[in-house]
């Protein structure tokens, strides 16, 4: 019986084999295309998954560094507080020292403490040094400079007799400046 596609004996229509082969080739090509697309999608998914893992690791690293930085900031804040307290304590000690130096200078210079208010520690040191130069000779005795000072040019020939303590200090400071 010729193969004309008219069918067999049971009322079924027969499809020619070449048509079946063509359909099979077409389906195989579609399967191949779908498998290729699936593999590409799977590769893209794997790439995205790897990127997600890298981002997650980076995020974990950043969170760790942030926690460490926050701990260091807390430590810095503590150190700032200690520095502020130390600075305040130092300032109070310097102020107390300056007040005590004024009181001591007032006794040495035989002046009222109020006249020394506002003088810095450096100014008080200069006054006391001047008073020491004026009030004592190099031999340690009080009063006018010794003959050794006068012979060595100590006062530059200036006499301290009849001078007030302040004038003595000024004169002593002038002599000191000249000797430098």
The reply to whether 56 falls in a domain is no
Contacts (Cβ under 8 Å, ≥6 apart) of 108: 128, 131
Q: Does residue 74 fall inside a structural domain? A: no
What is the span of the domain harbouring residue 101?
Answer: 94-179
Number of domains in the chain: 1
Is 105 within a domain?
yes
Contact 124, 116 (CB under 8 A): yes
pLDDT per position as a tens digit, 10-39: 667 888 999 889 999 999 999 999 999 999
pLDDT in tens, the chain (180 residues): 445 555 555 667 888 999 889 999 999 999 999 999 999 999 999 999 999 999 999 999 999 999 999 999 999 999 999 999 999 999 999 888 888 888 888 888 888 888 888 888 888 888 888 888 887 544 444 444 443 343 344 445 556 677 788 887 877 777 767 755
Domain-embedded: residue 166 = yes
Query: Any bridge partners for residue 146, and if so which?
Result: none
The packing angle between helices 17-109 and 165-179, to 10°, is 120
Closest by CA to 136, choosing from 168, 110, 158, 164, is: 168
For residue 132, which of 146, 163, 140, 119 has the smallest C-alpha distance? 140
Task: Summarize pLDDT for 92-112 with one digit per residue, the tens.
Answer: 998 888 888 888 888 888 888
Residue 44 in any domain: the answer is: no
| pTM of the complete model | 0.41
Phi-psi region at 156: left, alpha or beta (left = phi > 0; alpha = psi -120 to 50) = left
Which three-class secondary structure state does DSSP give residue 142? strand
Tokens of 29: 């090509």
Does residue 22 belong to any structural domain of this protein? no
149 within a domain of the structure (yes/no) = yes
Query: Quick check: is 104 in a domain?
Result: yes
């Amino acid at each position: 019986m010729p193969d004309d596609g008219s069918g067999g004996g049971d009322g079924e229509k027969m499809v020619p084999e070449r048509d079946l082969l063509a359909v099979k080739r077409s389906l195989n090509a579609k399967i191949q295309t779908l498998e290729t697309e699936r593999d590409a999608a799977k590769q893209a998914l794997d790439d995205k998954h790897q990127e997600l893992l890298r981002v997650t690791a980076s995020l974990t690293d950043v969170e760790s560094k942030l926690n460490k930085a926050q701990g260091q900031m807390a430590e810095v804040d503590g150190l700032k507080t200690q520095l502020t307290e130390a600075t305040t304590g130092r300032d109070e000690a310097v102020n107390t020292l300056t007040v005590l130096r004024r009181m001591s200078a007032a006794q040495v210079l035989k002046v009222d403490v109020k006249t020394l208010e506002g003088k810095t520690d450096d100014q008080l040191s200069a006054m006391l040094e001047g008073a020491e130069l004026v009030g004592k000779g190099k031999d340690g005795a009080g009063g006018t400079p010794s003959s050794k000072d006068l012979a060595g040019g100590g006062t530059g020939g200036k006499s301290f007799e009849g001078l007030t303590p302040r004038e003595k200090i000024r004169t002593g400071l002038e002599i000191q400046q000249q000797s430098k």
